[in-house]
Structure 1
Amino acid sequence: MSSIKHGLSIGIERIENDFFLSLKAVGRLTHEDYKIITPMIDSALAQVKAPKVDVLIDGTELEGWELRAAWDDFKLGLKHNNEFRKIAIYGNKNWQEITAKVGSWFISGEIKYFDNLHEALSWVKE
């Protein structure tokens, strides 16, 4: 029996009301992955009135989402919509660039796709 690596790792930094989330997505994400990560993000942001969130997503090992996990991702984005300031998506697949463009329709902050990690990090930290 072989196991397939998948999931999300998260880093959360906070300075007063400013948050920096770094996410690394691996494999094909599942609803179970979101059942773990969503409460962590909700809990961190709930402790601050009017948080401002910048995000760096490393999707270079992301293969996609199960349908329910894609819905979980969409709900998470809507729930914290007004809190996101910048989201940088670092990836290496054409569909990730398209995902960034579609995501910008639903998030009040800016979303940009990058194929260079240093450029993504520089932009999100500006």
Structure 2
Amino acid sequence: MSLELNEIAQGRYLEVHVSGKLDRETYQQLVPLAEEQINQYGKIRVLFAMHDFHGWDAGALWEDIKFDTKHFRDFERIAIVGERKWERGMAVFCKPFTTASVRYFDASELEQARKWPMEE
């Protein structure tokens, strides 16, 4: 599993790049940073980019469900960037778990995906 986190725009924007399969240990890195930003700035905006992504293991899926339930209203926009058809479906799948605007971008649209969460 590869994870890269970037905090941009005074902490209101979190850019997450993942590859491989998400596991519980990845969430132990990601969750504290996201919660720190939420506590400091209120609602945040996220770009979640997947490259050669293979989904979640059971532990990571459970951590994701707990996080989504706790932070249902804490995101304004979520840009999902992917390479595969099933990743496009993630944008539809995650909408009931957040009040955020969620939009899918193909990997070739990464720069556009970076701009969208920051638009007012």
Shared fold (TM-score greater than 0.5)? Answer: yes
CA RMSD of aligned residues (A): 1.6
- Structure 2's unaligned 5+ residue stretches are none
Secondary structure, in 3 states, of the residue corresponding to 1:112?
strand
Q: TM-score, normalised by structure 1?
A: 0.83
Say if 2:29 is the partner of 1:36.
yes
Once residues 14 and 119 of structure 1 are traced to their aligned partners in structure 2, the CA distance between those partners, rounded to angstroms, is: 16
Runs (5+) with no aligned partner, structure 1 = 1-5
| Greater share of residues in helix | 2
Residue-pair matches, total: 117
TM-score scaled by length of structure 2: 0.86
> How far 1:56 sits from its partner (Å)?
0.7
Please list the CA deviations of residues 42-89 of structure 1 after superposition, one character each: whole Å capped at 9, or x if unmatched: 2232234xx121111111232111022012122222222211000000
* Rg larger in structure: 1
In percent, how many aligned pairs have the same letter? 29
1:119: how far off?
2.3
Q: Check conservation: 2:37, 2:44, Cα contact below 8 A.
A: no
Describe how 1:1-126 pairs up with structure 2 within 5 A: 6-15=1-10, 19-48=12-41, 51-115=42-106, 116-126=109-119
Q: Residue 13 and residue 118 in structure 1: after superposition, are their counterparts in 2 closer, same or farther (change >3 A)?
A: closer
